[in-house]
Structure 1
Amino acid sequence: MEIKRVVVTGLGALTPIGNTKDEYWDGLVSGKSGAAPITYYDTEKFKTKFACEVKNFNATDFLDRKEARKMDKFAQYAMVAADEAIEDAKLNLEKVDKLRVGVIWGAGIGGLETFQQEVLNFAEGDGTPRFNPFFIPKMIADIAPANISIKHGFMGPNYTTVSACASSANAMFDALNSIRLGYCDVVVTGGSEAAVTIAGMGGFNAMHALSTRNESPETASRPFDGTRDGFVLGEGAGALILEEYEHAKARGAKIYAEVAGGGLSSDAYHMTAPHPEGIGVVEVMKNCLRDAGLQPEDVDHINTHGTSTPLGDVAELKAISKVFGSHAKSININSTKSMTGHLLGAAGAIEAISVILAMEHGIVPPTINHTTVDENIDPELNLTLNKAQKRDVKVAMSNTFGFGGHNACVLFKKLD
């Protein structure tokens, strides 16, 4: 079977530091923090009182009011980012074969706000089960790609991957293989999440996973810093149009990058903690390089999972040193979660967009908020601290890991 080449022809982003892919990129390069006090509910009794919310977003600016009411926020975000990516790709929806256009999406949680509100409404009532008829369709994680396909009539593969924070990276890997193997010409892929809710924040606080730096939210997400104390919850969506190379070339599409390969692995270690030596992370990066047919020394830039947790950051950097050896010191390593916070199931998508735009612009966004050296981290690694760095990026890797030990890695390269 012929293995087809796959390229990226469209991007869309709705993030805590920008509501379009261009605004997002500007925020990344300038080192903008998306963290601020939570506006969605009263945080007085919560341990963490801040998050990276999407700002100045009104769903009805993009969606019909009636349709918007039928969607949880995570699905609204998905629709907006996907529409931007489709427009960016300049797909002619009158000419494209919609039987060969898929939508493969990632979401770690799905409609948490909807679930929370319906259960609270029931608990506050008299015991009569009066639930909104759209409760289930708004809540289920697969509804985001369903809504995208319904709007545009895309009749190819359509589903959601759920692997916690690796979800959208898993979705991109599935989209890559759906085109490689000839099942689709085009796939709308990415991920969305909207978990900045009382249940989301309360649950992660109960796990001691979140930063509690309430006095300085904008500096709380500090990957690799010696004083990091947990991740900052974010929300939003990222969308990519993946397309078979000859199909894209035939219609004269702008090509951002080639999707060189992907990899998957499992830590098989713990429900929430990474293996301290990053064994599963070593394997996922090796698998990704092998799938792409590339060598460690080919990689110029890695956007790490880098959540700003004490254990995870060290384990990932140890794994990078093991896989890349002495070349690790020549790689621009960063964590854009220092700016966006952790978008859970959408993290892989927005971080893939970051590495693609880094290749396009020749600039690697910084890891902000670094003030204190962690003696457990190799000081010779270039973590792109506090300021963007110019770099001719020909090959870039994006790492994403999820609770349960789910590891996913995607590799992009400039088109030959």
Structure 2
Amino acid sequence: MKKRVVITGLGTVNPLGNDVNTYWKNLQLGTNGCGPITKFDPQNFKTQFACEVKNFNPLDYLEKKEIRKMDLFTQYALAATQECMDDARFDDTWGKDRVGVIWATGIGGIQTFEEQVMDFCENGEVPRFSPFFITRMIPNMASGLISIRYGLKGISHATVSACASSNTAISEAFHQISLGNVDAMLVGGSEASVTRAAIGGFNASRALSTQNEACQSASKPFDTTRNGFVMGEGAGAIMLEELDHAMKRGATIYAEIAGVGATSDAYHMTASHPEGRGLRLAMEQAISEARLTPKDVDYINAHATSTPVGDLSEGKAIEHLFGEYLDGLHVSATKSMTGHLLGAAGAIEAIVCILAVRNDIIPPTINLEEVDPQFHPQINFTQKEKVQKPVEVALSNTVGFGGHSVVSLFRKFRE
């Protein structure tokens, strides 16, 4: 029999707060994390705003000599992990040979890559690269440094599946525990993508909103005037633990992860299938693995990035799968507040689902003034204000360039 897997620790650094409690409070309030870009001068860019992490000081988490060896995406990872490990009460009594880490990112150390290459181009032909250039840049370094810092000797690697990356990490860790290979897994994702290269690249692909004159209303999933996503940054960390291991040590259990689904659209390099074929199948897989039916799902945290094609594709997937049960289902898109954290999106949105299940609260979709009439009229997009209602089961949806669709299912823990 597969082993049950529960959530026993959470941590985050993101545009709505540098800890879980602040994040959850601001989600309920409908706080907007968007503002003008401060990390570089954006005046020559089509998009001049983003959802940046605020008041982050790496010295609160790391020694000065460590910081110079790490890209910002790794610093965010270690900061979120520290809160998660403290929350889970991780200590030397854990069998560290049976605890692993899977950490995700979409683009890794892009800030380091950008700085080093530009410095080389500006300073002639002499190759004076930092000795930490490669280790700061490569996507697996966050998982490696987390395992080193805490002595975790179980499986350790990185997952990269674009914007589905950290939900892929959750999926793989869930299977490692449920099959009995490990007792616990630290999982999550981080991204530090408010850089010239990232903003310029996504501008060139016409994926970002360019609504500079009213940037706080730019991230508007499902709205009839949606015109692209808003870049976000940060990290989310989650401790997944085998139930008996958690019970024996008297852990606080937030929720249970009961199923996952992972599929591919097999359709297009960047566009989702118009009918949400891959995402619908991934949701079906997660629900089936949990031995539930669509009727049992109370809440979906939608991937919904505020793009014309992507949001509609997800809406079609939800419509086709849930059909007659749409009336009892709430859907919200918290990217309307956080922006899109790319490879870290799945982690911070899984935290939303976990806390929704624990607290019976569904956070709102802000900036949604007029629902696009192409969506089924019975889909409840939970506009503007939070909803207090029983939440037994929640789905976290993620979709990535390349056609990746990954879904995690969380439910209330019952012994």
Q: Which TM-score bucket, shorter chain as reference?
A: over 0.9
In the alignment, is residue 32 of structure 1 matched against residue 31 of structure 2? yes
Matches within 5 A, 1:1-400: 2-91=1-90, 93-400=91-398
Deviations 1:101-143 (A, max 9, x none): 1001111110000000000011011211111000000000000
| C-alpha displacement of 1:330 | 1.4
| C-alpha displacement of 1:244 | 0.3
More deviation in 108-117 or 276-285? 276-285
Distance in 2 (CA, whole Å) between partners of 1:70 and 1:180 is 35
More deviation in 347-356 or 289-298? 289-298
Distance in 1 (CA, whole Å) between partners of 2:371 and 2:12 is 32
Could you tell me which amino acid in structure 2 is paired with residue 29 of structure 1? Q
Determine helix, strand or coil for the equivalent of 1:216: helix
Deviations 1:275-329 (A, max 9, x none): 1111111111111111211111010000010100001111101111111111123
| C-alpha displacement of 1:379 | 2.2
Deviations 1:135-169 (A, max 9, x none): 00000000001111111111100000000000000
Deviations 1:164-217 (A, max 9, x none): 000000000000011011111110001000111000000000000001111111
Distance in 2 (CA, whole Å) between partners of 1:328 and 1:15 is 31
| C-alpha displacement of 1:22 | 0.4
Distance in 2 (CA, whole Å) between partners of 1:370 and 1:181 is 42
| C-alpha displacement of 1:371 | 1.2
Distance in 2 (CA, whole Å) between partners of 1:293 and 1:134 is 47
Determine helix, strand or coil for the equivalent of 1:399: strand
Distance in 2 (CA, whole Å) between partners of 1:48 and 1:329 is 38
Distance in 2 (CA, whole Å) between partners of 1:38 and 1:374 is 29
Determine helix, strand or coil for the equivalent of 1:138: helix
| C-alpha displacement of 1:359 | 1.2
Determine helix, strand or coil for the equivalent of 1:412: strand
| C-alpha displacement of 1:5 | 0.5
Distance in 2 (CA, whole Å) between partners of 1:73 and 1:312 is 29
Could you tell me which amino acid in structure 2 is paired with residue 83 of structure 1? Q
RMSD over equivalenced CA pairs, Å: 0.7
Distance in 1 (CA, whole Å) between partners of 2:235 and 2:306 is 20
Normalising by structure 2, we get a TM-score of 0.99
Deviations 1:70-94 (A, max 9, x none): 1100000000101101100112x21
Normalising by structure 1, we get a TM-score of 0.99
Could you tell me which amino acid in structure 2 is paired with residue 7 of structure 1? V
Distance in 1 (CA, whole Å) between partners of 2:3 and 2:205 is 43
Could you tell me which amino acid in structure 2 is paired with residue 11 of structure 1? L
Could you tell me which amino acid in structure 1 is paired with residue 325 of structure 2? H
The size of the alignment, in residue pairs, is: 414
| Aligned match of 2:400 | 402
Could you tell me which amino acid in structure 2 is paired with residue 281 of structure 1? L
Could you tell me which amino acid in structure 1 is paired with residue 192 of structure 2? A
Could you tell me which amino acid in structure 1 is paired with residue 412 of structure 2? K
Could you tell me which amino acid in structure 2 is paired with residue 196 of structure 1? V
| C-alpha displacement of 1:387 | 0.6
| C-alpha displacement of 1:380 | 1.9
Distance in 2 (CA, whole Å) between partners of 1:278 and 1:359 is 25
